[in-house]
Structure 1
């Protein structure tokens, strides 16, 4: 197999080099499916990391949802071997009974696998190959689902899940550039990306957006992706403002030192339009998943009606492995092992 000269596109290398340079850790991981996007991220990261004296790990999550999944894993492992990068195979089981659809279940299984792997290998920085087109599709999907301000901020270039730090350095890069890089790499090294048929299968929501909506938008509004990305940046700024306000209101509500409780009376003294924001920010600080709007509205109703000391009814709000209760005038969160 011929040796590759590496990627040359500065639009791909520049943001990635900045991201890697800002990470103060000797070991980094790349989430690699075997498709063009993640494969080129691995190729680019491996050549940059060599100059920065950092070690790259290729982490492949095997969902087992298509018949060719085993072959994809082997093909991706060949790329890692060609680059001299350690390859890690993570098989997962994707439940079909979550009520959220197979795509959401697969995504949750994938990120959970990344988190467990990072802890087991003491490698807490993971890069993902989401790009401009992915971001635009994500915003369309969230708009159609009725997402709020935070959801319409799109995917973040940096996020954290427990001890795992996630980076998306290519959110401003169009997929066409990545495909061009993949074609050049194939010509140099003879390795070609896998083709996932689900990316064009309209029974999957994201694929339906990609095949049915995107071509129409590209033809009628060719600048739509850029407009959505600008909207995402505005929503991201608005999200930060809401979080800052939530933190200030939490302090006004006498947030406990451990962050697990606050004054019910002080919370109820806030304007109602800020009470929901306080609950969201409280959960965010505790790294607890956000409730649905319907569930949040139920919580607001109960917390507004309960006696100010929290003892005239048994408030017990179950959510994501924890319970929210009212005790001695405080709203408190109890983890399952603390009950």
Structure 2
């Protein structure tokens, strides 16, 4: 099985531990291939036992994830933005992660590591939402067990196939690496091209600055303000007087929001890079006959920064029409 087999046979547990620790810490060093091989070696009894590998993986995950947990508790929303900057789909990264955790709670940690990009984000969300540390550690350990167990099981079931693949890599290693690199580069180029086109399209959606919004508030002509972020049972800070609307929901729910007519001024905000979620909903609203619709430039983060990071007034925590309905 080549060099990887030899390394695992002699330094298996330490390599697995370090590989998982580095990956869970956020570096792009995938641990799944090594776990596949560890599973195959475990069933052949030429490497560390599967039980020992599971223990090493869970220990490594708990170390790295506890770091993300305390970072999320201390830094909050900026922590999510920092993590999502390395995501190919960074504009939807924050909203999707918040939606998953706010809907499911700490139980989402059981499956988070199986979802691309959701592992560190979910552990940071656990810290942000004040999940008790013992509860977090319990569900995170189960999640690590599920994640590592699935990889090891694949290695056990397909041990002969994995042997053949590794032998092929040993014989044609350089060609295989080049081929995989080309495929991965093409995939990245395609994803970035899609994102570039989407950002270029949504640049045409007009933006309203936080200063303009506050000027209208002081003049007594506050627009309808719509919060398009992910929400759940956990209370979230909101711009005072804003209403919650699902960006994927039907637009006829605007009647329930109390939007009086198509000529109403509407401002949509989110907490994502390039205020993309807000721009997409504003684009839908303008196409549906609400021409006076803007996306809030900088979103909720800019609004909070302009207010010195202070918590919103009590009105912000009152249920909007969509929640009361």
Higher strand share: 1
| TM category, shorter | under 0.3
**Structure of greater relative contact order (alpha carbons < 8 Å, 6+ residues apart):** 2
Higher helix share: 2
Q: Decide which structure has the larger Cα Rg and report it.
A: 2
Q: TM-score, normalised by structure 1?
A: 0.27
